[in-house]
Amino acid sequence: MLKIAVCVSGGGTNLQALIDGVNKGLIANTRIVRVISNNRNAYALERAAQAGIDALCVSPRDFDDREQFNKALVRAVDEAEPDLVVLAGFLVVIPPELIRKYENRIVNIHPSLIPSFCGTGYYGLKVHEAALARGVKVTGATVHFVDEGTDTGPIIMQKPVAVQAGDTPEILQRRVMEEAEWVILPQSINLIASGKVQVVDGHVEIDSRKG
Ligand code: GRF
């Protein structure tokens, strides 16, 4: 059984895709053991409650400094004893200590085809605003392992999404979520839960032979 802790900040639609994937059997042998949000108003916490999943808020506002917040966040993850940490719309810089403790055991969903439109400052709608400003014809989403950099870890899955005439950042964001994020995040977790994913020399190898 793959135990996963999911970190969220907002609406939680990616969390919901994971909850639904587990419940429908699309994600094998997996249990979401904890949901952690930095935002006490995140609807993702309501989604966790509705699904009966342990959930808590660890907000930077409740701590004197970033170091104390980081320690509390690491503690909140460790307490759940997860095999994998999933960042699903989590808008917090991940403490280096967490990355070291969970090397190649933290995955993130980013709403572009990395290495385009990623790194510091590229999150949420800003990603889609940049894609439209550049005039790309294809964008998409990426699931990757988290390393010490920002959106720089080994890529697990990507899915392209066509940009359409008249797209606004909001319309494009929704299409990328519906057609890419909510598809490849559950698929990636299922691959990991099935033992089909390994990192070799900084690149992800997926074993397509395993049943
Ligand atoms: C989405 O734009 C997603 O791409 C990014 O965070 C945003 C909110 O996602 N990772 P969610 O609805 O909270 O899962």
Q: Whose CA is nearest to atom 3 of ligand 1?
A: 89
Q: How far apart are CA 51 and CA 88, in angstroms?
A: 16
* pLDDT in the model for residue 105: 98
Pick the closest to residue 93 from 104, 82, 106 (CA basis).
106
SS (H, E, C) 90-107: CCCCCCHHHHHHCCCCEE
- Give distance in angstroms: CA of 210 to centre of ligand 1: 31
The tens digit of pLDDT for each residue in 78-112 reads 999 999 999 999 999 999 999 999 999 999 999 99
- Told to judge if 110 belongs to the known catalytic residues of this protein, a careful annotator would answer yes
* pLDDT in the model for residue 209: 81
Q: How far apart are CA 166 and CA 164, in angstroms?
A: 6
- Give distance in angstroms: CA of 65 to centre of ligand 1: 26
Please list the ranges in the chain whose pLDDT falls under 50.
none
The best mutation among 6, 15, 87, 109 to test binding of ligand 1, ranked by most ligand atoms within 8 Å of the C-beta, falls on 109
DSSP-derived letter for residue 156 is E
Which residues sit with their C-beta closer than 6 Å to ligand 1?
8, 10-15, 44, 88-89, 109, 111, 124, 173, 177, 181
* pLDDT in the model for residue 25: 97
* pLDDT in the model for residue 210: 61
Placement of tokens 């990507």 in the chain: 158
* pLDDT in the model for residue 208: 82
Q: Whose CA is nearest to atom 13 of ligand 1?
A: 12
The dihedral through the CA atoms of 126, 76, 72, 190 has a sign that is: negative
- Give distance in angstroms: CA of 179 to centre of ligand 1: 13
DSSP character string of 21-87: HHHTTSSTTEEEEEEEES-TT-HHHHHHHHTT--EEE--GGGSSSHHHHHHHHHHHHHHH--SEEEE
Q: Work out the angle between the directed axes of helices 43-50 and 13-23 (0-180°, nearest 10).
A: 20
Q: Whose CA is nearest to atom 12 of ligand 1?
A: 13
Catalytic residue (one of 110, 128, 144, 203)? 110
Percent of the chain with pLDDT over 90: 98
Q: How far apart are CA 207 and CA 195, in angstroms?
A: 8
- Give distance in angstroms: CA of 13 to centre of ligand 1: 7
